[in-house]
């Protein structure tokens, strides 16, 4: 009996050797498959660029996207010299940087080429849903792109730092947080994503995205940028329901739930605005003030209202 207890205690504290973790796939085959999927995803854009640029620049464009996805760094980003090293090899980093610089500074194309392709793909998706008897959601959102370490670009403007706000929350034992918003250099952005009501309708698609600044020669205003997007999305008419986010970064907090939703309603589109805890739907035919005030409802997205 004593020997059995000793044996049990000796085996109770044994540490089994760890079995090396082997992924259920070959890394090389996985990388090749992802590269193929990426090339297939951007193929329509590559065809457009092939009519404008040299084939070597088109190849550099695709390789740059692969590098950004593989070596992205949320905190520090990627330097131009690093991208050049990843495009070719660390020993050929200057040559890779020059190749990337040639692509970015080519006068034969600009960001509008990418924007037009995104819009075309999103429009085709919306019309496909209409033919299938389905409807999509056009989700509006906006925020800031913070560049706290940058000062060289003359188009950078003052934006509120969401990271600083998150880090300055009062914590037990630490007091005296900043009383004023912390402002850093950056840019504003505004985007619209189209998504189906069910997952079987396909993945979300970025329809349009605008970057704007409140300083410099390209200074603009939020309402102007919203108006430009509004004119584009009115082409879809009632094929989509526009969804606006009440959690707006602007001080007034009425960026989406008021004037813009009312403008869409007046144009005959269907809209809805969602809150963190409540939701309101703009009602076509009602006065702008009634739509701006809204009606409270449980948390969620209220279905589109017909005009």
pLDDT in tens, 58-68: 999 999 898 88
Q: Which of 50, 74, 104 is the last residue of a domain?
A: 104
Percent of the chain with pLDDT over 70: 67
- Could you give the CA distance from residue 210 to residue 142 in angstroms, rounded to a whole number? 9
Q: What is the 3-state secondary structure (H, E, C) of 200-242?
A: HHCCCEEEEEEEEECCCCCECCHHHHHHHHHHHHHHHCCCEEE
Residues 122 and 270 grouped into a single domain: yes
Segment 209-243, tens digit of pLDDT? 888 888 888 888 888 888 888 888 888 888 888 88
CA atoms within 13 A on the CB side of 44: 12
Instruction: Name the range with the highest mean pLDDT among 99-103, 143-147, 293-297.
Output: 99-103
- What integer best gives the mean pLDDT of the chain? 75
Residues 251 and 159 grouped into a single domain: yes
Record the pTM. Answer: 0.69
Q: Are the CB atoms for 190 and 212 separated by under 8 Å?
A: yes
Give residue 136's pLDDT.
87
Residues 158 and 29 grouped into a single domain: no
Residues 152 and 282 grouped into a single domain: yes
Residues 125 and 144 grouped into a single domain: yes
Give residue 36's pLDDT.
86
Count of CB atoms situated within 10 Å of the CB of 126: 23
For the record, the structure tokens of 44 come out as: 């329509």
Residues 265 and 230 grouped into a single domain: yes
Which residue range forms the structural domain that includes residue 210? 111-168+180-293
Q: What angle, 0 to 180 degrees and rounded to 10, lies between the N-to-C axes of helices 55-71 and 43-50? A: 150
- Could you give the CA distance from residue 302 to residue 294 in angstroms, rounded to a whole number? 12
Tell me if 173 is assigned to some domain: no
Residues 197 and 219 grouped into a single domain: yes
Q: Work out the pLDDT band at 246, boundaries 50, 70, 90.
A: low
Q: Are the CB atoms for 246 and 256 separated by under 8 Å?
A: yes
Tell me if 52 is assigned to some domain: yes
What values do phi and psi take at 100, rounded to 5? Answer: -70, -40
Residues 191 and 284 grouped into a single domain: yes
Residues 126 and 97 grouped into a single domain: no
Tell me if 164 is assigned to some domain: yes
Residues 98 and 122 grouped into a single domain: no
Residues 94 and 125 grouped into a single domain: no
Which of 301, 122, 274 is CA-nearest to residue 202? 122
Dihedral (CA of 58, 63, 65, 66) sign: positive
Residues 116 and 97 grouped into a single domain: no
For residue 28, pLDDT over 70 is answered with yes
- Could you give the CA distance from residue 85 to residue 198 in angstroms, rounded to a whole number? 42
Tell me if 174 is assigned to some domain: no
Total structural domains in the chain? 2
The end-to-end CA distance of the chain, in Å, is 86
Count of CB atoms situated within 10 Å of the CB of 2: 6
Segment 253-289, tens digit of pLDDT? 344 455 666 666 665 566 665 544 444 444 444 443 3
User: DSSP character for 15?
Assistant: -
Tell me if 98 is assigned to some domain: yes
Q: Are the CB atoms for 118 and 206 separated by under 8 Å?
A: yes
């Amino acid at each position: 009996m004593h020997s059995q207890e000793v044996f049990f205690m000796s085996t109770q504290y044994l540490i089994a050797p760890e079995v090396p973790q082997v992924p259920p796939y070959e890394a090389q085959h996985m990388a090749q498959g992802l590269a193929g999927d990426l090339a297939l995803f951007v193929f329509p854009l590559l065809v457009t660029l092939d009519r404008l640029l040299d084939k070597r620049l088109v190849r550099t464009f695709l390789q740059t996207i692969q590098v950004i996805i593989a070596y992205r760094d949320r905190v520090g980003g990627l330097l131009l010299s690093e991208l050049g090293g990843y495009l070719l090899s660390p020993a050929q980093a200057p040559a890779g940087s020059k190749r990337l610089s040639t692509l970015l500074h080519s006068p034969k194309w600009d960001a509008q080429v990418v924007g037009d392709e995104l819009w075309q793909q999103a429009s085709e998706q919306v019309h496909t849903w209409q033919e299938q008897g389905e409807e999509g959601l056009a989700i509006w959102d906006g925020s800031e792109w913070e560049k706290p370490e940058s000062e060289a670009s003359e188009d950078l403007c003052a934006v509120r730092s969401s990271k600083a706000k998150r880090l300055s929350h009062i914590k037990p034992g630490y007091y005296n947080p900043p009383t004023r918003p912390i402002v850093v250099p950056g840019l504003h952005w505004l985007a619209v994503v189209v998504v189906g009501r069910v997952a079987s309708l396909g993945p979300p698609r970025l329809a349009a995205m605008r970057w704007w600044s409140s300083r410099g020669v390209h200074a603009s205003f939020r309402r102007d940028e919203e108006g430009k997007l509004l004119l584009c999305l009115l082409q879809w008419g009632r094929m989509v329901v526009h969804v606006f986010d009440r959690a707006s970064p602007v001080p007034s907090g009425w960026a989406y739930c008021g004037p813009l939703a009312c403008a869409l309603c007046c144009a005959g589109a269907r809209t809805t605005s969602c809150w963190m805890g409540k939701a309101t739907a703009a009602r076509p035919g009602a006065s702008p003030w009634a739509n701006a005030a809204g009606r409270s409802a449980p948390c969620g997205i209220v279905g589109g209202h017909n005009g």
